[in-house]
């Protein structure tokens, strides 16, 4: 495909607009519903979803859109034929939204031939936007100010700075951290965990629990463009739309590629 960076300006603006719609509901007396799988759903999820789908549909060329809020209506057979598509999570971290701790994001990725080639992650409460595209680098913008280039930390701190989920802890994660040894552990919500690796604030994000492809694609692009890697526990790059299920394997996101982070996960299956 042509250089994906041509979409960046439009997608950053669109993602920020979706964030404003989320904030209007965030500052209101909103209600919480539940999907069939018992995960929470709010009007903010839907408002951001509709705005993003409509906006991405105006970009040319037109690519299919796969959103968390409409994934059940797209068959695996249909999406299996997509070479290029938009993959979005309109509100990543709904539990953090409900807790009103500000640690939620809007995630938009462009996936081409099973890999994310453009990614935008916007945290509305923090007014912080991370974005990247293939061959263009990774950037961070705070409070609408100047955009600055970000890079992973190529050398691991001592002790390593590890980010983990604020709302989803697992026994596998406890095992992994026990093997890793002393570390500075930060609990953070949503795809912001990836972004802290991407901007050098953290060394490692081990995810030894369930996630879906829309949770990771945008932020994976940012980590990779910043010089890091996102791999499964066997060291293979995380890829998209390869199977009927939209669940990811367990994975590791990190900056220092000289370290064998996967050895601490031996025997852990995900």
Residue-by-residue DSSP string for 123-183: ETTTTEEEEEETTTEEEEEETT---EE----SS--SS-EEEEESS---HHHHHHHHHH-S-
The pLDDT value given to residue 167: 67
For 169-180, how does the pLDDT look when each residue is reduced to its tens digit (9 = 90+)? 789 999 999 999
DSSP 77-120: HHHTT-SEEEEEEEEE-HHHHHHT-S--EEEEEEEETTEEEEEE
Is 52 part of any domain? yes
Residue 104 lies in a domain: yes
Structural domain of residue 86, as residue ranges? Answer: 4-149
Q: Does 141 lie in the same domain as 24?
A: yes
Tokens of 20: 């404003």
Measured CA to CA, the distance from residue 230 to residue 239 in angstroms comes to 10
> Is 9 a member of any domain?
yes
Same domain, 181 and 142: no
Tell me if 154 is assigned to some domain. no
The CATH number of whichever domain residue 165 belongs to comes to 3.40.190.80
Q: What is the pLDDT of residue 194?
A: 98
The packing angle between helices 43-56 and 8-26, to 10°, is: 160
pLDDT of residue 123: 98
Residues 142, 174 within the same domain? no
pTM for the whole structure: 0.96
Does residue 171 sit within a domain? yes
Q: What is the overall mean pLDDT for the chain?
A: 95
User: Which of the 8 DSSP states describes residue 248?
Assistant: P
pLDDT for 9: 96
Residue 156 in domain: no
Q: Which of 88, 91, 108 is nearest to 47 (CA)?
A: 91
Same domain, 132 and 76: yes
Is 201 in the same domain as 109? no
Give the total number of structural domains in the chain.
Answer: 2
- SS3 label, residue 204: strand
Would you say 195 and 152 are in contact if contact means Cβ atoms under 8 Å apart? no
| pLDDT value, residue 35 | 82
**Domain CATH for 137:** 3.30.540.10
Report the distance separating Cα 137 and Cα 130, nearest Å: 11
Residue 2: the pLDDT is 75
* Number of alpha carbons in the 13 Å side-chain half-sphere of residue 52: 36
Q: Which residues of the chain have pLDDT under 70?
A: 1, 167-168
Q: What does the pLDDT read at residue 39? A: 83
What is the maximum alpha-carbon separation in the chain?
49
Helix (H, G, I), strand (E, B) or coil at 23: helix
Q: Is residue 197 within 8 Å of residue 204, measured between CB atoms?
A: yes
């Amino acid at each position: 495909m042509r250089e994906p960076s041509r979409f960046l300006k439009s997608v950053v603006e669109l993602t920020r607009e979706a964030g404003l719609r989320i904030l209007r509901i965030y500052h209101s007396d909103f209600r919480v519903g539940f999907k069939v799988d018992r995960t929470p759903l709010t009007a903010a999820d839907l408002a951001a979803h509709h705005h993003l789908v409509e906006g991405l549909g105006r970009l040319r060329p037109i690519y299919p859109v796969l959103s968390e809020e409409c994934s059940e209506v797209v068959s695996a057979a249909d999406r299996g034929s997509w070479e290029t598509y938009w993959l979005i999570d309109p509100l990543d971290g709904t539990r953090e939204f409900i807790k009103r701790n500000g640690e939620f994001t809007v995630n938009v990725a462009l996936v081409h031939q099973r890999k994310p080639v453009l990614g935008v992650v916007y945290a509305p409460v923090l007014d912080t936007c991370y974005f990247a595209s293939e061959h263009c680098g990774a950037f961070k913008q705070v409070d609408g100010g100047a955009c600055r280039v970000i890079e992973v930390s190529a050398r691991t701190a001592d002790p390593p700075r590890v980010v983990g989920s604020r709302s989803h802890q697992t026994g596998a994660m406890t095992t992994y951290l026990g093997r890793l040894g002393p570390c500075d552990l930060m609990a953070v919500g949503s795809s912001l965990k990836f972004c802290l690796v991407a901007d050098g604030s953290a060394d490692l994000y081990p995810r030894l629990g369930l996630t879906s492809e829309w949770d990771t694609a945008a932020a994976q692009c940012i980590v990779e463009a910043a010089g890091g890697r996102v791999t499964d526990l066997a060291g293979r790059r995380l890829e998209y739309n390869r199977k009927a299920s939209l669940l990811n394997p367990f994975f590791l996101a990190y900056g220092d590629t000289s370290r064998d982070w996967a050895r601490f996960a031996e025997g852990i299956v995900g």
